[in-house]
Amino acid sequence: MNLIFDIGNVLVHYKPQKFLETLFTEQSLRDAMFETVFQGPEWLALDEGTITLPEAYERYCRRAPEHQAAIRRTIDGINTMFSPIDETVKLLPLLKKAGHKLYYLSNCHHEISRYLLQAYPFFGGFDGGVFSCDVRQLKPDHDIYHTLLKTYRLAPEDCVFFDDVNENVQAANEIGIRGVLFTGAACVREYVK
């Protein structure tokens, strides 16, 4: 079986609001940064690979010039937001031992994706994967799922996809991949056989 993993909140923690709490004491500033940086159109464009991080920074600052220093601090510290979800990561070598192939499929920025691959050795156990920024496609569009299948010559019926976003799971189901809504490592553990 080919097991396909989303990354954020499946393999690594992705909690922007908690991250902002580590940077700013003022709630109003945390709210402004969450809305400006993480909820703005630039974040999606970064995921899609259609703008660079410096371009996003310029756009953020044009939209919220009064928060330029806070925006810089947020972007500069963004990699500290991530940490492995140990319960899931511990299962990866067991899944490999059970004979499964492992892939990732993630909406992710260029800089963040490179950081994750370099920072976390467990990615070395994967057989491949697709980051949205590299193919300019985003989940839940069917195209990105087809890109993964075509790149690694996988049959959808031989794949299981774990994601914490229901919309992404449903898109996988629509093209014949078994989509599983990730609610914790227990839903992956059944494949350790």
Q: What is the largest CA-CA distance in the chain?
A: 55
- Which residue, 78, 80, 17, is CA-closest to 53? 78
- Residue type, position 64, single letter: A
Calculate the CA 97 to chain-centre distance.
25
Q: How far apart are CA 170 and CA 177, in angstroms?
A: 9
Residue 49 has a pLDDT of 96
The SS3 call for residue 138 is: coil
Q: How far apart are CA 193 and CA 187, in angstroms?
A: 13
pTM: 0.93
Residue 30 has a pLDDT of 95
Domain spans, the chain: 2-13+82-189, 16-79
Residue 171 has a pLDDT of 98
The domain over range 2-13+82-189 is classified in CATH as 3.40.50.920:
no
Cis-peptide into 140, omega within 30 deg:
yes
Show Cβ contacts of residue 115 under 8 Å, excluding neighbours closer than 6 positions: 79, 82
Residue 180 has a pLDDT of 96
- Which residue, 99, 120, 137, 165, is CA-closest to 11? 120
pLDDT by 10s per residue, the chain, length 193: 999 999 999 999 999 999 999 999 999 999 999 999 999 999 999 999 999 999 999 999 999 999 999 999 999 999 999 999 999 999 999 999 999 999 999 999 999 999 999 999 999 999 999 999 999 999 999 999 999 999 999 999 999 999 999 999 999 999 999 999 999 999 999 888 7
Residue 193 has a pLDDT of 72
Residue 192 has a pLDDT of 84
